[in-house]
Chain A
Amino acid sequence: MSKIGVFICHCGENISATVDVERVAREIGGMEGVAHAIDYKYMCSDPGQTFIKEAVKKYGLDGVVVGACSPRMHEPTFRRACAEAGLNPYLCEMANLREHCSWVHEKSEETTEKAIDLVKMMVEKVKKNKPLDSIKVPVTKRALVIGGGIAGIQASLDIANTGHKVILVERDPSIGGHMSQLSETFPTLDCSQCILTPRMVEVAQHPNIKLYTYAELESLEGFIGNFKAKIRLKAKSVNYSTCTGCGACIQKCPVKKIPSEFNAGLGTRTAIYVPFPQAVPNKPVIDRVNCNYYKRGACKICEKTCQVGSIEWDKEDEIITEEVGAVVLATGFDVKGTDFFPEYGYGQYKDVLTGLQFERLASASGPTFGEIRRPSDGAIPKKIVFIACAGSRDPAKGIPYCSKICCMYTAKHAMLYQHKVHDGESTVFYMDIRAGGKNYEEFVRRAIEEDTVNYVRGRVARVYEKNGKLIVKGVDTLLGGEQVEIEADMVVLATAGVANCGSEQLAQKLHVSYDPYHFFAEAHPKLKPVETNTAGIFLAGACQAPKDIPETVGMASGAAVKVAALFSNDELVREPVVAVVNRLAPPLYSTCVGCFMCETACPYNAIEHEEIKGRDGSLIRTIARVNQGLCQGCGTCVAFCRSKSIDIQGYTNEQVYAEVMSLLND
């Protein structure tokens, strides 16, 4: 018969104020198989733990139940105490008498009875518990960073500086991301490129960083410490080992009218191109969709121009495999285009811009070399209207969240405009001004007070074109809902920040969860902001939610520390709460019949095929096997298995059944 020890905690008065803890201990003490039952004021304290340790030795306990707080709080504490007394830690279970009972009920007879039931269930479960050993898995000390914006750059540098190898994968031909497109940054107005480009160069030159630009993740297999990443290196059509980056090919390319992605569609680029002059690597790629040769089979002017013969027409995409131990996702965000807004002209008015396009206008490296000019006629706008919350905080548009950065960059835009066009007049329509952050509120006040930006609290209902002017019809809610009409020369929409295109597919490749807006989901909104629910995959920057540069950099360093902490171990220790497929003596081998329904159900790709072979090497059966490194113990496979051949260690069918039956058999 079992010898179970039961320890009921008062938790100060947290439990004992509503539960008659002495009665719980008394009644449980009378249960079959319970050798010892006591209550104590603070079970987690040193004397409390000593009670447990001494009882394990004195009564030779083969199971321990602690009726106290949530196992999230103190299960490790009590399991350690048991282990110190020589009992396998997984023979210790907790009944949650605080969160599940005393905190949620009034003091009454029933509350105590519920507490007794909760303890009773765990006693029945512990009787079926088996000793378990923690799982050890080796760690590959190399990190994969996906996305080469400021988040990816920072995370890569931080990890590389701890002495570990980093593989940085960027989808575009150059790293730099959105930050390289920005003009000046709030709240200090320092030039974005001036602070970013040195970091880009550092990445390219760092001995611990392997940079793959124009590349995308194809698939990720494996588990924490042991991932296998397949990376697609898109064909650049240019041999980077011989190309000198002289740029002659770009000059001569006859296809010149392609809208430039870097300039947010305001400028043009050629078919063989470098996204921007400060690009890293500063070597061109051929855009095969627009190149004359790939389209029509003739041209090859770049090849004739190239002095070193670097053009490779027949180069195909290459897929390489890298083994890594951790992954940092830093794929960033995107902004909605002006075409998303029927009320602001569906994107058909050339002088209605997004904030990102305005950044390009204001940037010294932009299409107008930093002069604010209308895309339609090149004139300098004398009246400009900024509309904050364009799409954001608007459930009707499907974007109920705040994009967080717009208040600040709109103030910055207005300020830059005032600095560049001294006789200009700028108006900002806003809902609220959200300037939480160091020196942020001061920055907005400066825009309003020193740079005389006209802030109007209200929404803009419509923007339409009339005689070359943009008529902005809005309302000023601070003046009692008075109608405001402005004849503007340019309108800038602070369009909502949204998840980057392809983020949903990427999340599915990585088995990372995402929110309804396709931003990647953190493991805990407060306490695990850089972890994902998939062990070994971390988040940095705006792929998790819109955020500004300081926050992104902070998060990237946070993710880097998590990776470094992971790499500080040679082996990882995991809880043995994983699924196992039963194994039996021959000729059965297992009750698993190998239908692999579990494989189709497993969200973590943890089900493998195990071939059972006879002595002569012939295949007897193929059954399922659980990869213990990948398994997260969710139990979906258990629910799927028709023959009940698969079970979760520590939460077996038998244990859970015993728990339920202890209630039903009352």
Chain B
Amino acid sequence: MKKLRDRAAELLSQGVVSLVIGYEEGTKRPRPLFCRNSEGAEKLIFDSHCFHNLAVYITKKELVGKERFAVTAPISTLRSIMQLYVENQLSEEKLLVITVDLSGELREFTTFDEIAAYVAQFELKRGEREQEILSKIEGMTREERWKFWMEEMSHCFKCYACRSACPLCYCSKCVVEVNRPQWINPWPAPLANMEWHINRAMHMVGRCTACGACGDACPVGIPVDLITRKMMEDLAPEFGYVPGQPAKQGNALSSWKLDDREQFIR
């Protein structure tokens, strides 16, 4: 912790970066901290409770400005950062990524490849909660699944917290706000809710890194994160990806390889 604070203070005071995005103690759990000077860096913490995905802030231009900045990132955030690189949303010159490895040592990354090499050591595993709900869902028939999700989605009142929390929902105009034509009905109702959630899921195909931020953000506790997570788990092996390892090889829905084992596409 001290190493992190010292390093952050050093980076800020030397003007290497103009902003460090990290965590500080919150009321119930750590909350995001934006420090712009070395005094602010004293509040920085980094431990296993810090799971809020800070990658959501780094695409916000009004927040990070034009200068170089740093972000402290646990594994799930690193995955999101990798995907953002793949989608041309970050520039390697502008971003310094800091993490604390298992032995407590500081690690700093400036390129996609460095992060990829580090993240490759960590297998993406289901937590207890995910395992419990997903195994229940996996045991259901198609009809039961539809019923389950219709019931879950009926609680949704379209606050779009899932969208705000997701680091990959960085569009300046979301499809729900497109009104010429109005593809998705804006009011909260079972069918209109489903329209939104199906659209959200389809927009995440091949992109979701299973950070769980959307599910965490949902005020009514819909496990929205499990839809995109399950899709990613199912899709990754089919397309030769490692789950949780975004690769610079395009999108699962648009790219194909010469040595693809499926012949139908040729």
Contacts and interface: CB of A to CB of B under 8 A. Distances in A.
Interface of A: 504-505, 508, 516, 588, 591, 593-597, 600-601, 618, 622, 636, 640, 642-645, 653-654, 657-658, 661
Contact of B175 (A516, A636, A640, A642): A642
B87 A597 contact: yes
Interface string B107-118: 000000000000
A599 to B, nearest CB: 9
A601 B250 CA distance: 9
A92 to B, nearest CB: 23
A313 to B, nearest CB: 34
B185 interface: no
Nearest to A603: B254
Given A644-B173, A654-B180, A657-B181, 18 more contacts: A591-B173, A593-B89, A593-B170, A595-B87, A595-B88, A595-B89, A597-B251, A600-B250, A600-B251, A600-B255, A636-B254, A640-B253, A640-B254, A642-B203, A644-B183, A645-B173, A654-B181, A661-B181
Interface string B81-114: 0000001110000000000000000000000000
B121 interface: no
Nearest first, the 3 closest Cβ-Cβ pairs linking A and B are A657-B181, A601-B254, A600-B250
A594 B174 CA distance: 14
Given A596-B88, A622-B88, A643 B255 contact: no
A642 B253 contact: no
Nearest to A621: B61
B125 interface: no
A12 B172 CA distance: 54
Contacts, number: 59
B178 A644 contact: yes
A516 B171 contact: no
A591 B180 contact: no
B258 interface: yes
Nearest to A588: B172
- Interface on chain B toward A: helix, strand, loop, or mixed SS? loop
Interface size bracket, B side: 20 to 34
Given A516-B266, A601-B253, A508 B89 contact: no
Given A591-B173, A597-B251, A643 B88 contact: no
Nearest to A644: B178
Interface string B224-265: 000000000000000000000000001101110010000000
A597 B266 contact: no
A595 B203 CA distance: 12
Nearest to B199: A642
Contacts of B171: 591, 593, 642-643
Contacts of B258: 504-505, 508
B246 to A, nearest CB: 13
7 contacts: A504-B258, A591-B173, A601-B254, A642-B171, A643-B173, A645-B173, A657-B181
B173 A601 contact: no
B174 A643 contact: yes
Contact of B178 (A593, A595, A643): A643
B254 A596 contact: no
Contacts of A504: 258, 266
Contacts of A642: 171, 175, 203
Contact of A643 (B87, B172, B250, B251): B172
| Residue among A505, A600, A618 with max Cβ neighbours from chain B (10 Å) | A600
A125 to B, nearest CB: 12
Contacts of B172: 588, 591, 593, 643
Given A593-B170, A595-B88, A597-B87, A644 B175 contact: yes
Given A600-B250, A657-B181, A643 B175 contact: yes
Given A643-B171, A644-B183, A594 B266 contact: no
Given A516-B266, A644-B183, A658-B181, A594 B173 contact: no
Nearest to B200: A642
Contacts of B170: 593
Contacts of B174: 643
A657 B170 CA distance: 26
A591 B178 CA distance: 10
Contacts of A596: 87-88
B183 to A, nearest CB: 7
A596 B180 CA distance: 22
A642 B254 CA distance: 14
Nearest to A661: B181
